[in-house]
C-alpha cells in the first residue's frame, strides 16, 4: 500500500475540515485532506447554501402572489408560473461554483487533497480508500471533521422517495402538493416555510409544545403568525406514528390519532455525529454522548488528535465549525489559542428571520442578576416600512450594574445581516453607551439596534 507522510491529516472536507486544512497550509504545515464525498461538506452541498437558495426562490415566487402588497406599490401582475426543476438547476449551479472555489483555495494553500473514505488505524495514521486504491497516511496531528448526518425516526425510516431527509428534500424537482414536516427546529421551519411559499400545503408536526423551541417564545411569535398567514397547519405536542402512501398518521397530546395529507414527509428531528465506519473505536476517545468530547482547544482526550465541527455536537453551525478549524490549525502551528468566544450567533432563516447572539433575558438574569432590556419594534422603523415588512423587533440585554451587553436578539425581515453588528458588540465587550453612541446610518434596519440600546438606557428617540 502506498504511504503518504504529513504533519496534519484532516478527515472530512466540510466547513470545519476544509478551513482547518486551508489555514494549516497557509501556515506552512504539510497538510493532507481526505474527503469521502465532496469538498464543502454538508453545508455547501446539502445544507446552508442549497437551503438558502431555495428559501430565496420561494420568497421571490411568494412575493409575486401577494396582490395587496404589490398593489400598494403600484404593481399588478398576471399569475406567475414556476419551473421548479429550473430552480433546482440554478441552486446546483451556485453550489458547483462555490465547490470549485473551495478546491482552488485548498490548492492555493498547498493542501494535498484526496477523495475517498478514511478509516482510522491509530492516532497517527489512517487509510484513505480512494477509487485509485488504498493509501496509508501517516501524520503527526489528526483532525477529525467528519460532520453529521440526518437522524431518522424508527416509525418513519427514510426511503429516499416519500419519507425524506433535508438532503432529498433539497433535491426535489417538483413541489409536492402536500408536505408533512416532522420537527419544527431549524430545518423543519426553514424548509417547511419555503415549500409553503412554493405552493405546497404544509403541516408541521412538533413533539414539544411550540415551534422553534430552542428560542424564547417572544422571538418566535412573529414566525408563528406568518406560518398561520401562509396556511401552514401546526400540530404541537404531536408524534408521527406511521406513513402510508399519501398519509401521515399523527398522535396528539391526548393520544387521539389524526391523519395528515402528505405526498412527501420531511423528517427533521436533529442530526447525529457521522462516525460510523470511521474506526473511532481504535482511539478509545472520551465521548460526550454520541459526539467526540473536546476541550476549549478542540483537543480530544488523545494527544495530537483533534475534533472540530458537528462531530463534536451542538451548536451544529457552519461558522462554529470554521472557527474551530481555523483555531486548531493555528494551535498545531504553535499559537496559544482557545475557543473563548463571547457568543456564537445563530440564525433561523425563516420568515421573518430570527437572530440570537448571546444570552436571552431569563438566562442573563440567572447568570448576572439584575439586567436592563431594551426592545425596539420594526413598526417604528422607516426602512422596515419602505421594505413592506415591519413585523418584529430588536432586543438588547445588558447588565444593570455596568451596562455591558449580554445578548442581542432580533426577529424581522433581513435581520440575518444585523447579526455581525450584534456579535461584534458582544465580542468587544460593548456597553449600552457604546451602541447608543455609535451613529447608525439612516434609513436602515440597524437603527432598531441603536434604538434598542437607547431604550434600555431609558432615552429612546423614535418610540
Residues that are catalytic: 442
**Which partner in ligand NAD, ligand FAD, none is near 269 (CB below 5 to 8 A by kind)?**
ligand NAD
Contacts for 329 with CB less than 8 Å, ≥ 6 apart: 8, 19, 20, 21, 22, 23, 24, 27, 29
Please choose, out of 62-70, 219-227, 341-349, 389-397, the segment that lies near ligand NAD by the rule CB under 6 A: 341-349
Contacts for 446 with CB less than 8 Å, ≥ 6 apart: 418, 421, 440
Exactly one of 8, 26, 31, 36 binds ligand FAD (CB under 6 A); that residue is 36
Helix ranges (H only) for 387-431 are 419-427
Q: Is 22 helix (H, G, I), strand (E, B) or coil?
A: helix
Contact 64, 80 (CB under 8 A): yes
**Residues in region 208-227 near ligand NAD by CB under 6 A:** 208, 213
Q: Please give the full DSSP string across 94-152, using - where no structure is assigned.
A: HHHHHHHHHHHHHHHTT-EEEESEEEEEETTEEEEEETTEEEEEEEEEEEE---EEEPP
Q: Is 43 in the site for ligand FAD (CB under 6 A)?
A: yes
**Which partner in ligand FAD, ligand NAD, none is near 313 (CB below 5 to 8 A by kind)?**
none
* Residue 258 cell numbers, joined: 389524526
Please choose, out of 291-299, 346-354, 360-368, 450-458, the segment that lies near ligand NAD by the rule CB under 6 A: 346-354
**Which partner in ligand FAD, ligand NAD, none is near 239 (CB below 5 to 8 A by kind)?**
ligand NAD
Beta carbon nearer to ligand FAD, 345 or 412: 345
Q: Is 15 in the site for ligand FAD (CB under 6 A)?
A: yes
| 353 closest CA partner among 226, 195, 165 | 226
Please choose, out of 201-209, 358-366, 380-388, 423-431, the segment that lies near ligand NAD by the rule CB under 6 A: 201-209
Q: Is 310 in the site for ligand FAD (CB under 6 A)?
A: yes
Q: Is 192 in the site for ligand FAD (CB under 6 A)?
A: no
Using alpha carbons, list the distances in angstroms from residue 300 to 123, 284, 369, 392, 393: 11, 10, 35, 42, 41
Q: Is 50 in the site for ligand NAD (CB under 6 A)?
A: no
The distance of Cα 240 from the centroid of its chain, to the nearest Å, equals 24
Residues that contact ligand FAD, how many (by CB under 6 A)? 36
Q: Is 280 in the site for ligand FAD (CB under 6 A)?
A: no
- Find where cell 415551534 sits: 211
Exactly one of 147, 188, 222, 313 binds ligand NAD (CB under 6 A); that residue is 188
Please choose, out of 101-109, 237-245, 294-302, 309-317, the segment that lies near ligand FAD by the rule CB under 6 A: 309-317
Q: Is 265 in the site for ligand NAD (CB under 6 A)?
A: no
Compute the C-alpha angle 120/125/128, nearest 5°.
Answer: 60
Q: What residue ranges bind ligand FAD (CB under 6 A)?
A: 11-17, 34-37, 41-43, 46-48, 51, 117-118, 145-148, 166, 187, 274, 278, 309-310, 316-319, 321, 349
Amino acid at each position: 500500500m502506498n504511504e503518504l507522510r504529513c504533519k496534519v491529516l484532516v478527515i472530512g472536507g466540510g466547513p470545519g475540515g476544509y478551513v482547518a486544512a486551508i489555514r494549516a497550509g497557509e501556515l506552512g504545515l504539510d497538510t493532507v485532506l481526505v474527503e469521502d464525498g465532496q469538498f464543502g461538506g454538508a453545508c455547501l452541498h446539502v445544507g446552508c447554501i442549497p437551503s438558502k437558495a431555495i428559501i430565496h426562490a420561494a420568497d421571490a415566487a411568494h412575493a409575486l402572489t401577494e396582490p395587496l402588497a404589490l398593489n400598494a406599490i403600484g404593481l399588478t401582475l398576471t399569475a406567475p408560473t414556476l419551473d421548479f426543476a429550473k430552480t433546482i438547476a440554478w441552486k446546483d449551479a451556485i453550489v458547483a461554483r462555490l465547490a470549485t472555489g473551495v478546491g482552488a483555495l485548498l490548492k492555493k494553500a498547498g493542501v494535498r487533497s484526496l477523495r475517498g473514505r478514511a478509516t482510522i488505524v491509530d492516532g497517527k495514521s489512517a487509510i484513505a480508500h480512494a477509487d485509485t486504491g488504498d493509501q496509508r497516511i501517516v501524520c503527526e496531528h489528526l483532525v477529525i471533521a467528519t460532520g453529521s448526518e440526518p437522524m431518522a425516526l424508527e416509525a418513519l425510516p427514510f426511503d429516499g422517495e416519500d419519507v425524506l431527509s433535508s438532503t432529498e428534500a433539497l433535491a426535489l424537482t417538483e413541489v409536492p402538493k402536500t408536505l408533512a414536516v416532522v420537527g419544527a427546529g431549524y430545518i423543519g421551519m426553514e424548509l417547511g416555510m419555503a415549500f409553503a411559499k412554493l405552493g405546497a400545503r404544509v403541516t408541521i408536526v412538533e413533539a414539544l409544545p411550540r415551534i422553534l423551541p430552542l428560542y424564547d417564545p417572544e422571538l418566535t411569535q412573529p414566525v408563528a403568525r406568518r406560518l398561520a398567514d401562509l396556511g401552514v397547519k401546526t400540530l404541537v405536542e404531536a408524534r408521527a406514528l406511521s406513513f402510508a402512501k399519501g398519509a401521515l398518521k399523527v398522535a396528539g397530546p391526548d393520544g387521539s390519532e389524526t391523519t395528515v395529507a402528505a405526498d412527501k414527509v420531511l423528517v427533521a428531528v436533529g442530526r447525529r455525529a457521522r462516525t460510523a465506519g470511521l474506526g473511532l473505536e481504535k482511539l478509545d476517545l472520551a465521548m460526550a454522548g454520541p459526539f467526540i468530547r473536546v476541550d476549549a482547544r478542540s483537543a480530544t482526550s488523545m494527544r495530537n488528535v483533534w475534533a472540530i465541527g458537528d462531530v463534536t455536537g451542538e451548536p451544529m453551525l457552519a461558522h462554529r465549525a470554521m472557527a474551530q478549524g481555523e483555531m486548531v490549525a493555528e494551535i498545531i502551528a504553535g499559537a496559544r489559542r482557545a475557543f473563548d468566544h463571547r457568543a456564537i450567533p445563530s440564525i433561523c432563516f425563516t420568515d421573518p428571520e430570527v437572530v440570537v447572539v448571546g444570552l436571552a433575558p431569563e438566562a442573563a438574569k440567572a447568570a448576572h442578576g439584575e439586567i436592563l432590556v431594551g426592545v425596539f419594534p420594526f413598526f417604528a422603523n422607516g426602512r422596515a416600512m419602505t421594505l413592506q415588512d415591519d413585523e418584529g423587533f430588536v432586543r438588547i440585554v445588558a447588565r444593570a450594574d455596568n451596562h455591558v451587553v449580554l445578548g442581542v436578539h432580533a426577529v424581522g425581515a433581513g435581520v440575518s445581516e444585523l447579526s455581525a453588528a450584534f456579535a461584534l458588540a458582544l465580542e468587544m465587550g460593548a456597553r449600552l453607551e457604546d451602541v447608543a453612541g455609535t451613529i447608525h446610518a439612516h434609513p436602515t434596519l440597524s437603527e432598531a439596534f441603536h434604538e434598542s440600546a437607547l431604550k434600555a438606557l431609558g432615552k429612546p428617540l423614535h418610540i
